[in-house]
Amino acid sequence: MNKRVLVFLVVLHAHVAGVQASLCRADTTVRTVEEYNGIRYTVQLQKDEIGNPAMYHAYVFTPVCEDDLCKPVYIHLYWDLLGNYLRYEVPLDQPLTKMDHVVFTPGDYDKLHSVLQDSESLLKDYQIEELVESTTNARPGGDVDGITGATAKSLQAVVIPGALYTCYTLWHIVHGRVQDTIASVMDSLVSPALLSFFLRSGNYRYQHYALDRLMDGQGDVVQGFEADVVKLIASPNVFLAQRVLKTIAPNYLRSAERQAWLGHLFVGAHYRLQLQMLDKLQGIPLEQGLKSILEAHRQDSNEEIAHKIEQLLNKKT
């Protein structure tokens, strides 16, 4: 197999897997971004096949060092609707390279994806001048492209040997001013339909974003979104589930139907969520169906859960 084709297939397999596979089309929402080092590019909203906002895309050209030891980078970058990095793609005829024009290996492509995914990377704490010696003095075939001795050990885990400039430059683009640009566009896109999609998406970032706009300080939910917000108590993301359970007003959990659902959810819930559910129910009159579920579960629970259930069942209403 042609080496270029192999590189392309590796990138495509490694960095498109797990991302929504539906075809996207460009939207008219385009913004120009000027990054910290003067790099300019346009970021464009893409929509799915039925016209819903899906992600943002930018085609970026950038030099990654100041001499001819490194080839420039041509790369497609993708972010979600809140500006979180999703993936990258490399043109078939422009593979990424390390020092002395050594082409990235499949492992290098995987490592770059991991580097770009890490929003808290050590790379954010440094200027490039602090990390490198001038590449004009670098030895051809050197092990690492100019990482200084003081920082080499801590940075080896977060960069690709021979591609520090590439990792640094792309990380600061992916997590740079584009995120503010996307946030400003997002504010103009918010609609009931989009917030409903966010709540049902299974993406905890989208769900938190929607909750910030649909629940007030008293735990009241914007009319029409009540059912979808309550369902987040069953989220596999326990932190999201706890947030909703803690903040939602008790009146949304009073109906017999909701309490029956809570009871079945309680039986298989995470231990911390069980404790929080029992605390929440202290302020809500219990329906008989929920009481029966709790009583049956009490006998199989540990001492702490059993004690809380007993308190709850014996409380005066």
- Residue 66: its pLDDT value, please? 59
Mean pLDDT by 10 residues, the chain (317 residues): 40 40 58 84 90 91 68 92 97 89 93 96 84 49 47 73 89 94 90 95 96 96 97 96 97 95 94 94 92 90 91 81
How far apart are alpha carbons 263 and 269 in whole angstroms?
10
Distances (CA, A) of 268 to 86, 264, 297, 317: 32, 7, 10, 27
Whole-number CA gyration radius for the chain: 26
Question: What pLDDT, on a 0 to 100 scale, did the predictor assign at position 152?
Answer: 56
Query: In sequence order, what are the beta bridge partners of 147?
Result: 132
CA distances from 33 to 30, 67, 232, 270 (A): 10, 25, 35, 43
- Among left, alpha and beta (phi > 0; psi -120 to 50; other), residue 253 is alpha
Task: Tell me how far the alpha carbon of residue 149 is from its chain's centroid.
Answer: 33
Residue 55: which H helix or E strand, with range?
Answer: strand 53-62
Sheet containing 73-79: order of strands: 25-34, 40-47, 53-62, 73-79, 85-89
Q: How far apart are CA 218 and CA 309, in angstroms?
A: 26
pLDDT (0 to 100) of residue 6: 39
Burial zone of 216 (CB within 10 Å; 0-12 exposed, 13-18 middle, 19+ buried): exposed
Q: Tell me the backbone φ, ψ of residue 71, rounded to 5 degrees.
A: -80, 150
Cβ proximity of 88 and 80 under 8 Å: no
Question: Do 299 and 313 touch, CB atoms closer than 8 A?
Answer: no
Instruction: List phi, psi (to 5°) of 235.
Output: -60, 140
Structure confidence at residue 126 (pLDDT): 82
Short-list 247, 213, 215, 220, CA closest to 233: 247
- pLDDT at 309 (0 to 100): 93
Handedness of CA 59, 65, 68, 70 (dihedral sign): negative
Q: Closest Cα partner for 100 from 77, 71, 72, 74?
A: 71
pTM: 0.81
> In this predicted structure, what is the pLDDT of residue 100?
78
